Chains A and B, each alone.
Chain A
Amino acid sequence: MNTKLSHYFPQCTHDPTLIYLDTAATSLTPTNVLVSMERYYTQYRSNVSRGIYSNAETATKVYEAVREKCRALIGAQDVQEIIFTAGTTHSINMISSSISTLTDDINRAHGPHIVVTAMDHHANFVPWQHVITHYPEGTFSVIDLSDDYTLNLTHLTEILTEKTTILALPYISNVLGTINPVREIIAIARDINPDIIIVVDAAQAAAHVPIDVLQLDCDFLAFSGHKIYGPTGTGILWGKRKHLEKVEPFLFGGEMIAEVTHEQTIYKDLPQRLEAGTPNIAGVIGMGSAIDFIQSIGFSTITDHEKELTKYALEQLKLIDDLTIYGPQDEKIRTGVISFTVDNMHPHDIASILSTEKNIALRAGNHCAMPLHIQHMDVPATARISIGLHNTREDIDHLVDGLEIARKILCKPSKGQKV
Chain B
Amino acid sequence: MNIYQEEILAHYHEPSNNGELKDPTHTHCGFNPTCGDKICIDLIIDHDTITDISFHGQGCAISQAAASMLTEHVKGKPANTLKNLTKDDILEILGVELSMNRMKCGLLALETAHRAYYKNIDESKS
Interface residues of A (CB under 8 A from B): 346-349, 352-353, 356, 364-366, 370, 373-374, 379-381, 409-410, 412, 415-419
Contacts and interface: CB of A to CB of B under 8 A. Distances in A.
Contacts of A366: 33-36
B85 interface: no
B59 interface: yes
Nearest to B61: A349
B36 to A, nearest CB: 2
30 contacts: A346-B59, A348-B37, A348-B102, A349-B4, A349-B60, A349-B61, A353-B4, A356-B2, A356-B3, A364-B35, A365-B35, A365-B36, A366-B36, A370-B33, A380-B35, A381-B36, A381-B37, A409-B9, A410-B9, A410-B12, A410-B61, A412-B9, A415-B13, A415-B14, A417-B13, A418-B13, A418-B15, A418-B18, A419-B58, A419-B64
B110 interface: no
The list of the 3 closest CB pairs from A to B, nearest first, reads: A380-B36, A346-B60, A348-B60
A365 B34 contact: yes
- What DSSP secondary structure best describes chain A's contact surface? mixed
A347 B35 contact: yes
Contacts of A348: 35, 37, 60, 62, 102, 105
A374 B2 contact: no
A393 B36 CA distance: 31
A353 B59 CA distance: 15
Nearest to B19: A418
Contacts of A380: 35-38, 58
A341 B9 CA distance: 20
A381 B102 CA distance: 15
Contacts of B3: 352, 356
Contacts of B102: 348, 352
Contacts of A349: 4, 60-62
A354 to B, nearest CB: 12
Contacts of B61: 346, 349, 410
A353 B35 CA distance: 16
Interface in B28-60: 33-38, 58-60
Contacts of B35: 346-348, 364-366, 380-381
Contacts of A419: 12, 58, 64
Contacts of A352: 3-4, 60, 102
A412 B13 contact: yes
A66 to B, nearest CB: 33
Given A349-B60, A352-B3, A366-B36, 14 more contacts: A346-B35, A348-B37, A348-B60, A348-B62, A348-B102, A352-B4, A352-B102, A366-B35, A370-B33, A374-B36, A380-B36, A380-B37, A410-B61, A419-B12
Interface in B50-80: 58-62, 64
A379 B59 CA distance: 11
A416 B64 CA distance: 15
A409 B105 CA distance: 18
A418 B4 contact: no
A122 to B, nearest CB: 11
Nearest to A379: B36
A364 B62 CA distance: 14
B56 to A, nearest CB: 10
A352 B98 CA distance: 11
Contacts of B15: 418
B100 to A, nearest CB: 13
A364 B36 CA distance: 10
Nearest to A353: B4
Nearest to A411: B13
A380 to B, nearest CB: 2
Nearest to A380: B36
A409 B6 CA distance: 10
Contacts of B12: 410, 419
A18 B93 CA distance: 32
B24 to A, nearest CB: 20
Contacts of B59: 346
User: Which of B12, B13, B38, B102 has most chain A Cβ within 10 Å?
Assistant: B13
A366 B36 CA distance: 7
Contacts of A417: 13
B65 to A, nearest CB: 11
Interface in B1-25: 2-4, 9, 12-15, 18
Nearest to B3: A352
Nearest to B98: A352
Nearest to A417: B13
A416 B18 CA distance: 14
A418 B38 CA distance: 15
